[in-house]
Amino acid sequence: MKLFKSLSVAAMAIALITSSVSVVGAASSLKGKIVINGSSALLPLTLQAANEFKKLNPKVKISASAAGSITGPQSVRKGIADIGAVDWDASQDVPGFKKFDGQVAHKVAVIPFAAVVNKNVKVDNLTTKQLQDIFSGKVTNWKDVGGSDGDIIVVNRAFGSGTRVNFQMKALAGSEFLSKGSNYKEVKSSGDMKTAVETTPNAIGYMDLVYVTSNMKAVKINDVAPSEANLVNGTYKVWGFGYYMTKGQPDGATKAFIEYIQSSKFQNGSLKKLKFIPISAIK
Amino acid sequence: MHLETSAQGRIAERNPNELGGSIKAGSGKLFDRKNRLLFYNRTFKIICIASAIFVCLVLFSILFFMFRTGVLTFRDVSPLTFFFSSDWSPENESYGAFVFIFGTFALTLLTLLISVPLSVVIAVFLAEIAPSWLRNLLRPVLDLLVGIPSVVYGFLGLTILIPLLRDVTGTNMGDGILAAAIVLTIMVLPTISRISDDAISVVPRKYRDASYALGATRFQTIFKVTIPAARSGIMYGVILGMARAIGETMAVVMVIGNTPQLADALFKPTSVLTSNIVMQIANVPFDSTWNNALYMMGFLLLVISLFMIVVVRLLQRKGAHE
């Protein structure tokens, strides 16, 4: 028994030594410092990728922070950051934001979005037209879109939110939001949106699909339920790519990091675990 | 005893007339005890002065930086529009901050309207009426309330107060300046009542005795003698509470609704300076008029709270003279 114990300890020690040797052996000589700023929706993904990447390349330093989508490409333009994470393609014009010249967008993930309503709302399905009317303030009562009598409370994200830009482009086909009214409020983050929709009767809002809880209802849009399967087969349209913006084509450590996050190993592993959808799933 | 005499003996050898003469006279070496002490004293003095100057520099550079960035707003927006237009829609290039300035003052006033009478009553109860065991229990409780982070108050407001307001009043949302004022009242209540409590407690006993001797009731004594005597201390508490209410952000942003429209009803979602800044600052482009306008709003807030602090200082001086 004693012999067995010491043998197993010795075996473990040998295994440890060899495995650490193999890690050192596999570690590349890549050096550098990568600064990432931007979207908070992409931050969990970035942090996870950074952790794994640092294990493979111990000489690369990565610091990631998030202050909102628009700060990503801005930091890149100012030279503060090497990578700007953003929820829309910032090299193109989108509603409210001009394009950032000279920046290259790299797709890193697919983010599904959902229109959500409070549990007390009887409506299960909304068409694009109905969503446009609700969020622009033309329809103000649930009974006009097939629900029971009750004023619609519209909860919106503040201007500049990546989720808002995506929802406006994909679910509302670019139509304007209302901005005033006694049944309208704005919230600061996806977390606040979740609380507001959960606790306010007759409320409607929108958020990343991963934030949807059992205390609210994600409605079907044009008779298609928001799910990964429907997104992948092309019937559910309300989703967006998450992008990494770089000044010109990236090189060195930055290039390697972007390639790592786009690699099928990361896309089908950690990225799926975080409930994002791999970019390769979209044809 | 033996040591002392020998030490005194040595001093006496060098300068028999003066204590500490050896230090003053020095031994002539470059870095002897005298020079060393002088060096330490001077260095310490310089460090103290430098720290004091550093604090002033920090304050003035914050003020200067906020002003310098903020004033750029007026390149694109006229001051008249900024201060008096109520149309805030940065996506359409209109920057009227009147809604937020008005909202800030309306919210602060409403908060004071609810919190001052309540706090003064609590202070009177603590200082004059409560038995000492209850007083010793309540004072630490009030002090602890000051230490609760504001985001906790905001979250309780969002999850408990707003649904309650909705049920009681039958409104659709419940967000608005009334909800924010109630949350702020709970936040500033301990500040105002504890300072007022202290002010009332230090009113000399002879005033009360004289009042009772004239045949006044307890109620008359408290409201005609004690409170007027403690007036400047109570004002001090009110202004400190007001400064706290004006600058409060996290709790307000969670219950006010954040819609840029005039706060002309108690239950209408609206916005104040702090809540609008915190909602938008993360998403504005650098170097834009929008960014500058937010800095200008921050500068306004800073000026308002500095003004409050100056008033508190003046009141303190007045209180000291009385």
CA-to-CA distance for A268 and A140, rounded, in angstroms? 43
| A74-111: pLDDT as tens digits | 889 888 899 999 988 888 888 778 888 889 999 999 99
- Report d(CA B228, CA B224) in Å as an integer: 6
Residues of A in contact with B91 (CB under 8 A): 96, 159
- CATH topology identical between A32-110+240-281 and A112-232: yes
| B105: Cβ contacts below 8 Å, ≥ 6 apart | none
Contact A150, A276 (CB under 8 A): no
Q: Is A249 on the interface with B (CB under 8 A)?
A: no
Pick from B160, B184, B164, B188: nearest CA to B107: B184
Predicted confidence (pLDDT) per residue in A231-279, tens digit: 988 899 999 999 999 999 998 899 999 999 999 999 998 888 888 899 9
Dihedrals φ, ψ of B262, to 5°? Answer: -65, 135
Q: What is the mean pLDDT of chain B?
A: 87
CB contact (8 A) between residue B269 and residue A96: no
Residue B219, token pair as written in the block: 């109620």
Whether A117 contacts A123, CB under 8 Å: yes
- Chain A interface test: which of B93, B161, B279, B288 (most A C-beta within 10 Å): B279
B172 touches chain A (CB under 8 A): yes
Q: What is the 3-state secondary structure (H, E, C) of chain A?
A: CHHHHHHHHHHHHHHHHHHHHHHHHHCCCCCEEEEEEECCCCHHHHHHHHHHHHHHCCCEEEEECCCCCCHHHHHHHHCCCCEEEECCCCCCCECCECCCCCEEEEEEEEEEEEEEEECCCCCCEECHHHHHHHHHCCCCEHHHHCCCCCECEEEEECCCCHHHHHHHHHCCCCCCCCCCCCCEEEECCHHHHHHHHHHCCCEEEEEEHHHCCCCEEECEECCECCCHHHHHCCCCCCEEEEEEEEECCCCHHHHHHHHHHHCHHHHHCHHHHCCCECHHHCC
**Radius of gyration for the alpha carbons in chain A, expressed in angstroms and rounded:** 23
3-state DSSP assignment of residue B148: coil
Three-class SS of residue B127? helix
Task: Count chain A–chain B contacts defined by CB atoms under 8 A.
Answer: 75
Residues facing residue A207 across a β-bridge: A114
CA distance B201 to B209: 14
Shortest distance between the Cα of B174 and any Cα of chain A, in A, equals 9
- Selected residues 52-71 of chain A with any CB under 8 Å from a CB in chain B: 67-71
In terms of DSSP bridges, do strands A60-64 and A32-38 run parallel, antiparallel, or are they unpaired? parallel
Q: Say how many C-beta atoms besides its own lie within 10 A of residue B133's C-beta.
A: 8
Return the structure tokens found at B283: 């998403």
Q: Give me the DSSP letters along B12-39.
A: HHH-TTSTTHHHHH--SSTT-HHHHHHH
Q: Which two tokens stand for residue B265?
A: 């009803």
**pLDDT in the model for residue B7:** 47
Name the closest residue on chain B to residue A86, using Cα atoms: B283
From chain B, the residues in CB contact with A96 under 8 A are 91
CA–CA gap between residue B114 and residue B59 (Å, rounded): 33
C-alpha B118/C-alpha B101 separation (Å) is 26
Instruction: Supply the pLDDT for residue B1.
Output: 41
Q: How many CA atoms lie within 13 A of B319 on its CB side?
A: 19
In tens, the pLDDT along B23-61 reads 566 566 677 888 889 999 999 999 999 999 999 999 999
A69-78: burial string, b at 16+ Cβ within 10 Å, e else: bbbbbbbbbe
Phi, psi of A37 (to 5 degrees): -140, 165
Q: List the one residue out of A83, A68, A73, A71 whose CA is nearest residue A33.
A: A83
Query: Are B282 and A160 in contact (CB < 8 Å)?
Result: yes
Which residue's structure tokens are 């306008």?
B293
Identify the residue whose tokens are 């004239």: B214
| Lookup result for tokens 């309330």 | B145
Which of A217, A193, A272, A208 minimizes the C-alpha distance to A240?
A208
Contacts B278 to A, Cβ<8 Å? 188
Domain-by-domain residue ranges, chain B?
Answer: 101-290
The pLDDT, as a whole number, for residue A25 is 42
Per-residue pLDDT tens over the stretch B152-189: 999 999 889 999 999 999 888 889 999 999 999 999 99
Q: B271-320, pLDDT tens digit by residue?
A: 999 999 998 887 787 778 889 999 999 999 999 988 888 888 887 777 66
Task: List the Cα angle B143/B145/B148 in 5-degree steps.
Answer: 125
> What topology does CATH give the domain B101-290?
MetI-like fold (1.10.3720)
Question: For residues A219 and B316, which has the higher predicted lDDT (pLDDT)?
Answer: A219
- Helices B98-124 and B273-280: crossing angle in degrees, nearest 10, is 120
Q: How far apart are CA B36 and CA B28, in angstroms?
A: 12
Question: Would the CB atoms of B89 and A182 count as touching at under 8 Å?
Answer: no
A147 touching B, CB under 8 A?
no
In this prediction, residue A20 has a pLDDT band, given cuts at 50, 70 and 90, of: very low
pLDDT of residue A189: 82
- Residue of chain B nearest A151, judged by CA positions: B172
pTM for the whole thing?
A: 0.79
Closest CA–CA distance from residue A274 to any residue of chain B (Å): 24
Are A180 and B258 an interchain contact pair (Cβ–Cβ within 8 Å)? no
Q: Is the pLDDT of residue B64 over 80?
A: yes
Q: Where are the domains of chain A?
A: 32-110+240-281, 112-232
Q: Using the beta-carbon criterion (under 8 Å), do A78 and B286 form an inter-chain contact?
A: yes
Mutation target to probe the B interface, by most B beta carbons within 10 A, among A100, A185, A197 is: A185
What pairs with residue A84 in β-bridges? A37, A245
| Architecture in CATH of A112-232 | 3-Layer(aba) Sandwich (3.40)
CB B279 within 8 A of CB B40: no
What confidence tens digit (pLDDT) does each residue in A222-233 have? 999 998 889 988
Q: Do A70 and B269 touch (CB under 8 A)?
A: no
Yes or no: domain A32-110+240-281 corresponds to CATH 3.40.190.10 = yes
- CA distance readout (Å), B303 to B75, B103, B273: 21, 16, 12
